[in-house]
Each structure stands twice: as C-alpha cells, then as structure tokens.
Structure 1
Amino acid sequence: MNLEKILSISGKPGLYLLKVQTRTGFVAESLLDGKKVTVGLRSNVSLLSEISIYTNSAEKPLTEVMRNIAVKEDNGPTAISHKEDNGKLIAYFQEILPDYDADRVYPSDIKKVLNWYNMLQSNGLVSKEEPKTEATDNDKEKQVEEAVSDSIEEKVVAEKPKATAKKTKTKKE
C-alpha cells in the first residue's frame, strides 16, 4: 500500500490523488468522482503517508493502521460504517489498534480513518501485504556516499587540463 501521492485537502470532501505539481500549487484528482481540481499553495493539504495515529507507546503510521484494517477485513470494506455511533466505532478501532491513545484519538478521527480506508479500498489502493523491505539506512548512506564520490571523481577528471607540449625556443650559446 502506497499512500505517497494520496492527499486530504482541508475544506474538500474525500481524498485526492496528486497528479501534477505546478509553480502555484498542484493538480489533484478526486477519488470519489474522478474530477480534477487545482489546489493553491495556501490550501491546507496533508499527505496520508505523513499522518500517524497516537498510541500509548509511540505514534503508528496511518499506513500500518490501514494495513491492520485490511488484514481484519481481508482486503474488503470495513464491517462497520463510519456513520455508526461512537461506542461501536471505538470498539472496532480497539480491535484494529488495541494500544491507541483514547485521550488523543477522538471518535471523529476514527470516523475519518474508516471513511478513508473505504475510499482507498474501493479504488484498489489498499493491501494487507507487507511492503517490500527497502535498503537499510546504512545501505542508503553508503549508496549516497558512493554516488557523491563518483561524481566528484568524474568532475576532477573532467576539469584536469590536458598536457600540451609547448614549444620553447632555446638560446644557442
């Protein structure tokens, strides 16, 4: 599940898929009706990949919460509507994320997560599969260092002047 290009735009219903970034903002496509909208830089926009849910021990990325729902529902829509009463929503969310912080995660947040999950699921963007393991941070750092050193070596070789034979006159004594 990749939420890198999925947006929530304040004041607009639903979720949006980032299409094109422009100088003055960006163009996004609604996951609800497929219409494209332009969004200025002054709009309050959140990337779903940057959102986390408070737990008693640490923050849990929204991607993991969505994966937990997908596992529980076997990649299907949620068994409970986001319009249910707060007691049912809290009981369902405790099954998904047992250690969530009930003091900082409100029923409105739970409704939003369940609504988002159902939107993503209907568009085929939800998966219960674990993401492919990427290179570790040390591997990434090594790759960056190698790339930088390679580019420096290329630059040094390119800037090195070619040896040219100069003709000098010698005085005869």
Structure 2
Amino acid sequence: MNVDKILAISGKPGLYELKIQTRTGFVAESLLDGKKVTVGLRNNVSLLSEISMYSVSGEKPLSEVMRSIAKKENEGPALSPKSDNAELLSYFGEVFPDFDQDRVYPSDIKKVLSWYNILQAKGMVSKEEPVAAEAPKAEEAAVVEEKPVKAKKAKTEETAEAPKPKAKTKKKE
C-alpha cells in the first residue's frame, strides 16, 4: 500500500491525491469524486505516510494499521465507521490489539476506517508489505549524499591552491 501522495486536508471531507506542487501550494484530486482542488500553504494538510497511531509500546504508522485491516478483511471493505463506539473499539482491538485505549478515541477509529474504505474502493490497499520499493530508495539517498561531499572537497582544494583573480572594472570617462 503506497500512501506517499495521499493527503488529508482539514475542513475537507475524504482523502486527496497530490497531483502538482505549485509555488503557492498544490493541486490535489479528491478520491471520492475526482474533483481537483487547489490548496494553499495556510491549510492544515497531513500526508497519510506521516500519520501514526498510539500503541502501548510506542507509535505505529497508519500504513501498518491499514495493512492489518486489509489482512483481516482479505482486502475487502472494513466495518462501517457509522457503527456504535463499543463495536468500533472491539473491531479495532481485533485489528490492532496493541492500541492505546486512553489516547485513541472512537473518532480516530472512525476516521481510520473511513479512510481505509475510501482507499479500498479505489483499489489502493494491499496486505503485502512494500519491501522491494523501500530498498532502492535508501541506496539512492546514499548515492545522492556522496556526490555533494566530493564536489565540496574538490572546490576547497582548488580555491586553496590558486585564488581567483578579481574582476577588473572599467572607469567611466
């Protein structure tokens, strides 16, 4: 499940897919109805890949919680978020037994189930872990970090050996 470009925008229902970043914000497409909206930098926007849920042992990324829902439901739709709170808590306890019941509220569970159902309807949920996709990114990041370091060393050696001559200015007559 790849939620790197999926957004939750406060004040707007549903989820959005990031399409284009602009100088003043970005353009996102609604996963509910396909309409494109422009979002300014002042709006409160959260990437789903950055959201975690409280557990007794720490925090668990939302993508892992959704993956466990997909495993339980065999990639089918989850429990309706409109169910009563007791049913939501027992269902979420089956899916994520380690969740912190003091800090995870029924409203949070409703939101997670709603988001899962939106992603499931679009075919964006998976019970497999994305292992192969993460390994090349780590290697690419290491390569990118090495290039600027070499370039900086080369520049400092050149400048230490031979200083650049100053540009001559012409006097006006």
Task: Please state which band the TM-score falls in when normalised by the shorter chain.
Answer: 0.7 to 0.9
3-state SS in 1 of match to 2:97 = coil
Name the counterpart of 1:18.
Answer: 18
Q: How does 1:38-57 map to 2 (within 5 A)?
A: 38-57=38-57
Count of matched residue positions in the alignment of Structure 1 and Structure 2: 160
Asked if 1:34 corresponds to 2:52, the answer is no
Letter of the aligned partner of 2:86 in structure 1? G
The change in CA–CA distance for 1:109 and 1:73 in structure 2 (over 3 A counts) is same
Name the counterpart of 1:87.
Answer: 86
Q: How does 1:4-153 map to 2 (within 5 A)?
A: 4-78=4-78, 80-133=79-132, 134-135=134-135, 142-149=142-149, 151=151
| Structure with greater Cα Rg | 1
State the 1:146 CA deviation: 3.6
- Unmatched segments (≥5 aa) in structure 1: 162-173
State the 1:124 CA deviation: 1.0
The change in CA–CA distance for 1:70 and 1:138 in structure 2 (over 3 A counts) is closer
Letter of the aligned partner of 2:64 in structure 1? E
CA distance in 1, matches of 2:145, 2:92: 43
CA distance in 1, matches of 2:124, 2:16: 12
Letter of the aligned partner of 1:120 in structure 2? L
3-state SS in 2 of match to 1:29 = strand
1:67-111, CA deviations, whole angstroms, 9 ceiling, x for partnerless residues? 000011111111x21000000000000001101000000000000
3-state SS in 2 of match to 1:110 = helix
- Unmatched segments (≥5 aa) in structure 2: 163-173
TM-score, L = length of structure 2: 0.82
Tell me the C-alpha RMSD between the 2 structures: 2.7
CA distance in 1, matches of 2:19, 2:136: 29
CA distance in 1, matches of 2:34, 2:145: 42
- Structure 1 residue runs of 4 or more that deviate by more than 6 Å after TM superposition: 153-156, 158-161
CA distance in 1, matches of 2:25, 2:139: 34
State the 1:13 CA deviation: 0.5
